[in-house]
Amino acid sequence: MKLQLFKGLTFSFLLMGALNPGLGQVYQEAKTQHRFAQTYLGLNTQIMPSSGELLWKGERRPFPALYSPRLTIGGMHFWGKVDFNINVPLTFLGNHQLDETSEIDFRPGADLSARYYPWRMEYGKVRPYAGISLNDMILEISDEAMGYRQELWVTTSLLGGLSYARNDWQVNAEVMWMPQTDREFYADQLTPYTMQLPSTYFSVGVVKYFEGTLHEEERIEESSALEAKLTKERKINTFSIGIAPSGSYFLRAPNYSDAARQSIARHKGTFNWEFGLGYLFHKPGIHVGLA
């Protein structure tokens, strides 16, 4: 049901894009300050085929196939050359049953990605890209008799794909490949072994671009005299406040476990709310902040 709903939403996005006459690709027409980046919002589905290798109750088996609808938030930068985004999973669909008493819950979490287009992204043209992604992977295995165990890994993956844009909409097809898949996992309290996470993930999605700064460009000439006056009087510099979620990860796990507790999962990172106070120096374009 959830998968059908997501397909319907994706179809609606595509239909709206086909009917929307849109504007010209003004962000790529001139390299001005207000055309440097363009924000977008979209949806995609990540597909993980059954792959990798997991040991459970003495039997080696692949990870079950997984489908994950995701929300995409990002922006195209450098006038159509570099794309930065984050993909946030909305749900996970697939078979979670390992046997009659055991379940597996493997969740490729949110990823931060950067993509480079050798040829500038333009409307009406197919463009290839390559990139890199920082991901968190969560594995939880539960059993009625043995309880459950959960592990988290921070991984780095390589990206490659194709994009096609038209009328402020863009379709992306992508392959994500994880070079290093070996991870240590405990099948019980004292027995570690090396498992292989799935290495290849596919995704297809659509994003919608939004215009938010070009109206300021049109007023530059009109406001230049006022800007010069306020700059001279040092009245255009300003304070700023902000709030945002932030994440931190250990480069090396703390060495607190001993032989009796060696199977206890070590914390790899945490997310917190971050508050900021800053000051903008307008003329040099420098913002100094404390978070």
Domains and CATH numbers, the chain: 2-210 (2.40.160.20), 221-290 (no CATH)
How does residue 127 score in pLDDT terms, banded at 50, 70 and 90? Answer: very high
Other C-beta atoms closer than 10 Å to the C-beta of 233 total: 8
Tell me which residue of 185, 172, 101, 188 sits closest to 137, measured CA to CA.
185
Q: Tell me, what's the pLDDT at 158?
A: 94
Query: Measuring CA to CA, how many Å separate 164 from each of 169, 237, 264, 291?
Result: 8, 41, 46, 39
How high is the mean pLDDT of the chain? 77
Q: For residues 82 and 93, give the distance between their C-alpha atoms in angstroms, rounded to a whole number.
A: 31
Q: Which two tokens stand for residue 123?
A: 């409307």
Burial class (CB in 10 A: 0-12, 13-18, 19+), 112: middle
Phi-psi group of 78: left, alpha or beta (phi > 0 → left; psi -120 to 50 → alpha; rest → beta)? left
Beta pairing partners, 271: 247
Q: Tell me, what's the pLDDT at 174?
A: 93
Beta pairing partners, 28: none
User: In this structure, are residues 181 and 221 in contact, taking their beta carbons and an 8 Å threshold?
Assistant: no
**Which residues have C-beta within 8 Å of that of residue 281, sequence separation ≥ 6?**
237, 287, 288
Give the global pTM: 0.65
How does residue 75 score in pLDDT terms, banded at 50, 70 and 90? Answer: confident
